[in-house]
Chains A and B, each alone.
Chain A
Amino acid sequence: MSETVIQNHEPNYLEYKGKYKGIFAWIFSTDHKRIGLLYLYSMLVFFSVAAILGLLMKLELIAPGKTIMGAQTYNSFFTLHGITMIFLIVVPGLPAVFGNFFLPIMIGAKDVAFPKLNLVSWWIYIIGAFIALSAQFMGDGAPDTGWTFYAPYSFKTGTNMLPAVLGAFILGFSSIVTGINFIVTMHRMRAPGMNWMKMPLFPWALYGTSWIQVLATPIVGVTLLMVVLERTLQIGFFDPALGGDPILYQHLFWIYSHPAVYIMILPAMGVISEIIPTFARKTIFGYTAIVVSTLAIAFVGYFVWGHHMFTSGMSGVALYTFSILTFLVAIPSAIKIFNWVATLHKASIDLQTPFLWALCFLFVFMIGGLSGMVLGALSANVHLHDTAFVVAHFHYIVFGGTGYAFFGALHYWYPKMFGRMYDKSWANIGLAMFFTGFNTLYLPMFYLGMTGMPRRYYDYVDKFHGPNIISSLGAILMIVGLIVIITNLVRSARYGAPAVKDPWKGKTLEWTVASPPSLENFDEIPTVTDHPYKYE
């Protein structure tokens, strides 16, 4: 039998029949592509729940006074919303879904370095998620500390904190394991000829991210563990009555959680760096600068945690230092933006949906970044701390950055993942609604914050009413947009037109394999000779 005949019968990874049947063929699969989809489906579920919580909060805020829920419910809603969005979605999101699916293919490997461990990390993720979410339904009421678990409240409150904190701890493990897996994969399994400087930019972003995951997560892990011990044994780490110091908690927490912001945003930047050259049909401008700035962001990100604590009481020197360092991190981010814009300059652009997502990303990310500069400035921060301004800022960065990149990635790689095309007009309509809703929702919150509306309050005085109505209506529009987008994608997985190998004329390796890829991605490991974005 000749080689070609065998190839024609090669089953793709979706059809492949392994040892197990039905759902077990998925939840016991060690195929990186299936694991990527497992993450995708679990995250879609969690995201829907958390987004609905967000919507309910906005409905509460549509008018002053108690509208649909009381204070305690509101507290537990923003806590669950925050925990889910941060720990279950945006931190693992892009690496776990698209990293798992595309990292091996983009570097010309058949799988990640440790396929079984990869599956284990999904299981840890699910277990952690269930433990964290169980906090809602057991014991003495849902957690109400916010996702930061600030001491001393987190060990003093009577609500059911333990599962939430333990769940976050366990999720950290999943993150670490994925990080290690990716680092080793990139070190050991790049296709022949792909030296570091020929590696595409999304893998590069994952590389930086993985190191942050590995180096920062253990710190928050042990911090959360201390909260657990504090609650169960009254050890006194952060309890002033026993000699401990709650500010120390904040330091330890933000030493992780600020770099965690870059765990969220670096892969997003990686996605944008893939989408832009493909639809601009141009070699990306300043490949090396993008790589270097990725590593710089990963590195500098460790030294700015203090900007979360400007009002917590630190020495003057510490305040200035953290403020200046915070401004420094903006430089590598700005470098990237210049490179993307330069790539677009005089390009013949193909306005497909993923590209539109990338453009919207640029728009919201700039607003997020600039408002971050405002918060990084010491004097402004003192005024804006814990106001709606902060909420607007981080939704612009985190949701606007990571969320847009996530949906961009989904639309970009969708044909490869499912072997079908989605309906382009519905995708664009969904995006338009989402984008409009998003800005209507969060822009007024900048204004609200500046005029003094605090965050984490279920009620407000009359003078804040106007902007809040606009904001809440924006939330509704945005959610409708999301429903349109997701419905279109889900429907198309079944009924969409079959996708070709390379629908967007991309140049990286994933576009050289079948859509959807076969079980082992490559029949023969390719040899790489060219730069990843070689357009004439």
Chain B
Amino acid sequence: MNNHAHIDEHRDDEGAKTGMWIFIFTELLLFGGLFIVYSVYRYLNPMAFHLAAEELDVVVGTVNTVILLVSSMTIAMAITSIQLKNKKLTLILMGVTILLAIIFMVNKYFEWTGKISHGIFPGSEILHQSSQGEILFFGLYYAMTGLHALHIVIGVGFIAYVMWLVKTDDVKHDDYVILENSALYWHLVDLIWIFLFPLFYLIT
């Protein structure tokens, strides 16, 4: 009887990756809803969006873009190194990815608190005195970058979990599809930022 206890050990790397790709697609659609809202309101309030965008710090935005691009690279390198059976390097590269994510979040923190200390946050008095376009711009700014930050946090958790699997040898050179999937997820987080960055920081 007991030889049937292993029912869920069926392994299909190709299937696991397909599943992850579809999931990533749903995440893009999730942000897609917000992008629709953004474009509608930008179309209706071109001037206000233009002015409001100038208040965001392009330097912080650019730095964060670079950080995410590099972190995408390090997680990709982690996949190569696990294939080369280099467990230690894999762990280091994954660690670096997480570290970069944390730096991103610290930057974000200072950026947000800076804005908030100037009284610019949803529902604030200062914001409610400005034009409707500006209210919407900052509302979208907080909602979209906030949702993105939430994805960063989830991504960090995911990668940390996979690191633990690497450590316990549950992820090895011949069985690493979950590492690939965490990397895919991380690329997604990166990709979404690459859309957000020009929308909020560059188009002024």
Contacts and interface: CB of A to CB of B under 8 A. Distances in A.
Interface in B11-66: 12, 14-16, 18-19, 22-23, 25-27, 29-34, 36-37, 40-41, 44-45
Contacts of B1: 9, 11, 17
Contacts of B18: 183-184, 187-188
Contacts of A115: 7-8, 10
A188 B16 CA distance: 10
Nearest to B146: A229
Interface of B: prevailing SS = helix
A111 B7 CA distance: 8
Contacts of B29: 215, 218-219
Interface residues of B, number: 42
A303 interface: no
Counting from the closest, the 6 A-B pairs by CB-CB distance are A243-B132, A235-B139, A222-B33, A218-B29, A218-B30, A233-B122
Interface in A232-256: 233-237, 242-245, 248, 252
A219 B31 CA distance: 8
A256 to B, nearest CB: 9
A424 interface: no
20 contacts: A30-B8, A113-B15, A115-B7, A180-B23, A181-B19, A215-B25, A218-B27, A218-B29, A218-B32, A218-B33, A219-B33, A221-B30, A223-B33, A233-B142, A235-B140, A243-B136, A244-B41, A244-B136, A519-B7, A520-B7
Interface in A2-40: 9, 11, 16-19, 30-31
B7 A252 contact: no
Given A180-B23, A187-B18, 16 more contacts: A115-B8, A115-B10, A116-B8, A180-B19, A180-B22, A183-B18, A184-B15, A188-B14, A218-B26, A234-B123, A237-B37, A237-B136, A237-B143, A243-B135, A244-B41, A245-B40
A90 B196 CA distance: 36
Interface string A311-325: 000000000000000
Interface in A159-203: 176, 180-181, 183-184, 187-189
Nearest to A221: B30
Contacts of B45: 243
A236 B15 contact: no
Interface in A110-125: 110-111, 113-117
Contacts of B40: 245, 248
A223 B27 CA distance: 13
Nearest to A114: B19
Interface of B: 1, 4-5, 7-8, 10, 12, 14-16, 18-19, 22-23, 25-27, 29-34, 36-37, 40-41, 44-45, 122-123, 128, 131-133, 135-136, 139-140, 142-143, 147
A235 B122 contact: yes
Contact of B19 (A111, A113, A245, A520): A113
Contacts of A180: 19, 22-23, 26
Contacts of B41: 243-244
Contacts of B30: 218-219, 221-222
A242 B7 contact: no
A78 B4 CA distance: 47
Contacts of B5: 18-19
B40 to A, nearest CB: 6
A214 interface: yes
B22 A248 contact: no
